[in-house]
Each structure stands twice: as structure tokens, then as C-alpha cells.
Structure 1
């Protein structure tokens, strides 16, 4: 991925903003202190048992509002309403897509399509199982949100990967990568529409910009799928030292 970004930058003559400067780095670190605290506050609250993930999301909004208004002063309190309207427009578009995906997932569940797929995989060679799982999650990600895809398929596929002897950590990694690829892939990848709304560009422009990254992600997916040691070297290293 880094090699592609380097080649892309050279090809499109993206200017270098400047060389590394320790003084500027320390200044940026100081200015970004309150931003750095945000994930510490959120994750610390969740893992410390002080808040639920939903409460942490609300806490993050309140924290960001306080910091932006009173510390960075990037906007004033009277501008909150107009910002909320713009956020609502973007959220509404995404929620409509999620709603449609939820309906589709409900129909699939009623039709017992996931259960049928799970039963078929029990009689398929292990090498083909990985390919089928990959295709299932990518295709689902093209039409529904990643969370719905996981809720539908993970309980059904987990016994299959246990029979194969696959590491659950690898299974989780592959699912996340698969759904990420799917949600960035036409025709209805939810991240495409989020990008269109955020950057105010056409659907075609967004798809063309995403395609190189989708292809690189597919290459990474194949490597992780058929060379699991590459994906598991860090977890295995942590197990070694624990």
C-alpha cells in the first residue's frame, strides 16, 4: 500500500510539504494533545468498565464539542445548529442504506439462506471454504452494512472454521477485511456513498479513486487467507512473550 502511495504521489506530482522538523513536530504534538486524549478517554472508559460503547460514543461527541468550542475555538456555539443540519443530511443518507441492508438481511434470514450456505460448507474442501467465505462476505458488503453481514454469517460460519482448525483471530481478521472491501465496492458499497456526500464528488469519481485500494486490499486478503502466518505473526509473538 505504501509503495502504491509513493508511486501515485510521484505520478501526480503531489508536492512535498517539507522535511521532518523536530521543533514543528513537538509543536504539532502540543497542539494535538486534546485530540490524542480522545481515543484514550473513549477506549479507557470502555475497557475500564466505566461506560458502554454506546455511552462512549455520546461521551466522545460531548468531549469533541467542548474541545472544539472552548479550546481550539474552531466554531462558535451559535454554529452548532447548522453543523447538526449538515451532519443529519449525511447520516440520513447512510441510515437509509443501512435500513435497506437490514431489510435485506431479514429477508435472507427468513429464507434461511445463511443456514443453507453453512450446511453446504460442511461438505466442501477446506481450501474452497476460505474462498467461499471470502466471496460471501464481499458480496454481502456490497449490499448491506458490515455489522449486519457479521451478525448474519458469523454464528453460522464459526463452527465451520472450528472444524477446519482455523485460528479464530485469523477468522476475525478475514471477516473485517472482507466486509471492508465489500463496503468500498460498487454497486451499493456504503462507504462509497459516505465519501460522495463528504467530499461532494460524483459516484463515478469516487469509485475510480477507490478501485486501486480495493485491488490492493484483495491482494492483501489473498496473502492473509493462504499464508496465515503473515497475519498471525504479531499475535503469535505476543503469545510467546506472555
Structure 2
């Protein structure tokens, strides 16, 4: 059945559901699941659901107001500055893939780790870590590093299954090591309920990314030792040579991440800098990118951006409808009624996201689920950055799980293997990622420690029980309160200082109250009034 045939069938199913649907929420869930099972393109699915929800289900709206709301939400999305970072990072990744920046990063990693057991595999893992720090994309990382390292690993004596599985899994670090396109999308989607700074989310991903990368490296060392894979001799001169050759490649993540975290430029500006840097280095310094290749780079980048931004625009509108219908609030209230603890809630969220990751790509899951789960986690007292990293790590695993694991399809195409063979190759590394997910979920400091450390000086609380310094205060000059504290407090030598009210209360009472001071109007009235009689007391 073609795409349009599926669309017609889906409309027929949706119309039948609408007739007897008990609640709008039931309609929404039924239509979404029906469309997913039919395999409709995501932009058609979300766009149709948005129109149906606003036209048929919204209360108090009529005429053109529904479409006006959708257009306004899309316009608000387009006005977000951080959105510009996504196309810039996509273009930057394509430029580095077409040039030699990726190869030079791998050569540096091989020089650093080639002498340890499993050194070449460790170099492949950290090559993915280095490249992830400048690309922001998992599939791009798999293509750039995997196309170079898998043949090298097989040639060095590593099993083909191990080599493909390791690179397919290590490539998923591209969305966890900053900068990360999914992190930017997540920050945009939760901005209405639990605002998250993309820079802080980048910082939160460093610890978990290095932790999972270290676990994959340990697995590589174990495999190399078990298989007795020959290692290279340690050579300081080789390390120096590769660092010199890869200087411009290593400088890029320093500029990008250092500029973001030092406040020199924003993530959006950093993405633009990465494009200019990669273009200048590949064209004029390395000379490995030809001007005629720029057309192919632009074509691939625009195709990817067009699909992503269209889906984001429609998903923003769907999220707006969910907020109007108070669906996130209802879900939060349902969680509260269940009296879930934080542990039970996190277990539920992990299971949900792992299941979603098997049937939905990461961008779709973020666009649909993040606005609902973020306020629920905030209501449970979970740190927004911790929740964001849990979200990303779960969906990172989704890159490696069928039927829609994107890295599986990328590796299948890249290495010319069947999908089943690729799935079997990632099972050992997938188990390692599960262990990493459990550790990251139950140890929030993996995600929050670096952010807290960076922001600690700016958020240091003032010392307690000390007077707050005034802007004009000088060192060594005591305040009046400090001087009075230094006076002797003996009750016998120091008389009690009385207030004005106490002094007045101590005066002897006057026999006659002082005459009342009259106003000019009262004096004039007295002159006109008759004299008082003997039985009538004077007003004076």
C-alpha cells in the first residue's frame, strides 16, 4: 500500500473512532497509534492530528482561529534563536565528514591509546567521543568514524561482529557528548513548563558521556586482552607528531566548548563558528575539501534540516493543544494520586522511554513526550537537568533497538550487512549502555555535579548572622550596630535607655488637660453661638 493509500485508510479509521470516542484523549492516542502502525510519514501524522484536534476537539474556537493558533505557534518556533544552532551543526558535521578532520582525530586517538591492550578499539571509542564534541549528531559520528575504524579494526585482528557493534554503539555518544542537536531540541520543547538552558544541558551531558565512553573503552581493553590482539609500542614522538598533524582538528572542540562555557558566545553562535572554522580549515589549511563538494554538502544538509524543522513546527502545535486541554496537568495529577515515589516514577519513565525508543525515532519522542514528562518530573522533585539526561540516554539506547533504531540502519547501509546481523552485533554493547543508564538514573550527581561546580561561585550564599555590607561600606569601619554590641551590658553600671513613650508615661499627670487648639472655623462658630447656661458646661 502506498503512502496516500495509508493516509486514506488512516482517515477512515480516525473518522470511525471519532464517532464513539469517550474522551478527546482517547481520540488522540488512538489516532497516533493507528498512524504509527500504518507507517505513515511523521510530518503527515503530526500535522493531521494537529488539525483534527484544533478543528474538532477545541472548545471555544471557531472559523479561522484554529489555523491562526497553529501559524502563531510555528512563528514562535521560528523566532527562537537557539533553533539556528541545529542547521549550523548539521552543516558543520557534513563538512568534517567530507574533509579530513575526522581522520586526524582518529590518528591522535590511535597514538594516545594504541599501546594499551585493545588500544585500537579504545582509540575508536574516543575517536567517537572527540568527533561527537564537534558534530552533535549520532548518525554522522557513526558514518565519519565507523567508515574509517571498522576496516582498521578487522585488519588488526578484531572480529567483524565486535568491530561493527562497538562503532555502532559508540557512535550513539554523538547525542550525549556536547554539543548535541537532540539536547537543543529538548530544551526548546520543555521551555514552556520547565525552562532549561541548553548550555547547562550540554554541561550535564559531559559526565554521563565520559562515563559511558569509559565503560565501552573498558570493554574494548578486555576484548583486546582476551583475544591477544597485538599492540603498538608507546612512542612519545608519534604522539607529538599526530598532535601536530591534528592540531586544527583538536582546536575545534576547544573553541566550541570553551567559547560556550566561558560565555564568549552562545550555542547558536558556537554552531555558526564551527561551520566557518570547518570550511576554512578543510578548504585552505588541510586542502582536503574541494569547492565542487560543497554542493553535495549543502544538498545533504538541507534535506535533513527540511524534514526536521517541518516536524518540529507541527509538533510545537500539537504540544500547544495538549497544554490547552491540560493533558500534562492531568497526567501529573494521576501520578500524584498513585503516590509514586521518585524511584517508582523513574523506573516507570525509563521503561516508557525504552519502549518508545523501539518504535519512534529520538526527535519524534522528544517532540511528543518531553513536554508531558518534564512537568511531571518537576512535580516529583527531580532536577530538570537530571531528567533531560535520563531522557537523552534512554533514547540513545533507542538508536540501537529495532525496529526504528537509526544507527542500525546507518550501519547496515554503511557496512553492507543485514539488519539482523547488525542487531546481534550490538547486543553486548547494548547491555553496557543499560548498566550506564541505571547508574545515571540513580546517581543524579553524574548529571548535575559539573553544572553545580561551574555555577557555585555565582550562587555562593552570604554568611549567616552577619550584617549585609552596604555599597559604600569601607574595610575596617564598624556599623552603629557593631559599636553598640561592644558596649558593657551590666545592669548596675549601665542605666536602661528609655524610649520617648516611656519617658512621657513617667511624667506626673496634669490636673487639667491642656486646652484644645481650635481651628479657625470652630472659633467663628463660637462667636455666633449663644452663651452657655449654668446647667450646660462650656465647650472649653
TM-score for both structures, normalised by structure 2: 0.37
Other structure's SS at 1:122 match = helix
Which 10-residue stretch deviates more, 211-220 or 4-13? 4-13
Q: Which residue of 1 aligns with 2:251?
A: 37
Q: Which has the larger radius of gyration?
A: 2
Which residue of 9, 15, 35 corresponds with 2:224?
9
Task: State the alpha-carbon separation in 2 of the partners of residues 37 and 71 from structure 1.
Answer: 13
Which residue of 217, 231, 235 corresponds with 2:446?
231
Q: Which residue of 1 aligns with 2:101?
A: none
Instruction: Give the Å deviation of 1:46.
Output: 5.1
Other structure's SS at 2:364 match = helix
Determine if contact 1:192/1:203 at 8 Å carries over to the other structure: yes
Q: Which has the higher contact order (CA 8 A, sep 6+)?
A: 2
Instruction: Give the Å deviation of 1:133.
Output: 0.6
Determine if contact 2:316/2:367 at 8 Å carries over to the other structure: no
Task: State the alpha-carbon separation in 2 of the partners of residues 206 and 36 from structure 1.
Answer: 31
Gap change, CA 1:119 and 1:101, over 3 Å in 2: farther
Q: Which residue of 2 aligns with 1:148?
A: 364
Q: Which residue of 2 aligns with 1:65?
A: 279
Instruction: Give the Å deviation of 1:230.
Output: 6.0
Q: Which residue of 2 aligns with 1:162?
A: 378
Gap change, CA 1:193 and 1:229, over 3 Å in 2: same
The Cα RMSD (Å) is: 4.0
Give ranges in structure 2 of 5+ residues lacking alignment. Answer: 1-214, 458-540
Task: State the alpha-carbon separation in 2 of the partners of residues 91 and 11 from structure 1.
Answer: 45
Instruction: Give the Å deviation of 1:162.
Output: 2.7
Instruction: Give the Å deviation of 1:151.
Output: 3.4
Task: State the alpha-carbon separation in 2 of the partners of residues 194 and 203 from structure 1.
Answer: 10
Quick check: which one's helix share is greater? 1
Task: State the alpha-carbon separation in 1 of the partners of residues 414 and 244 from structure 2.
Answer: 28
Which residue of 438, 452, 476 corresponds with 1:222?
438
Which 10-residue stretch deviates more, 19-28 or 160-169? 160-169
The yes-or-no answer on 1:123 pairing with 2:362 is: no
Task: State the alpha-carbon separation in 2 of the partners of residues 204 and 104 from structure 1.
Answer: 33
Gap change, CA 1:106 and 1:178, over 3 Å in 2: same
Cα deviation digits, residues 58-90 of structure 1 (max 9, x gap):
543343233223222334334555x549x83x9
Gap change, CA 1:187 and 1:164, over 3 Å in 2: same
Task: State the alpha-carbon separation in 1 of the partners of residues 413 and 405 from structure 2.
Answer: 13
Q: Which residue of 2 aligns with 1:185?
A: 401
Gap change, CA 1:20 and 1:191, over 3 Å in 2: same
TM-score for both structures, normalised by structure 1: 0.73
Instruction: Give the Å deviation of 1:118.
Output: 4.5
Give ranges in structure 1 of 5+ residues lacking alignment. Answer: none
- Count the aligned residue pairs: 235
Gap change, CA 1:183 and 1:199, over 3 Å in 2: same
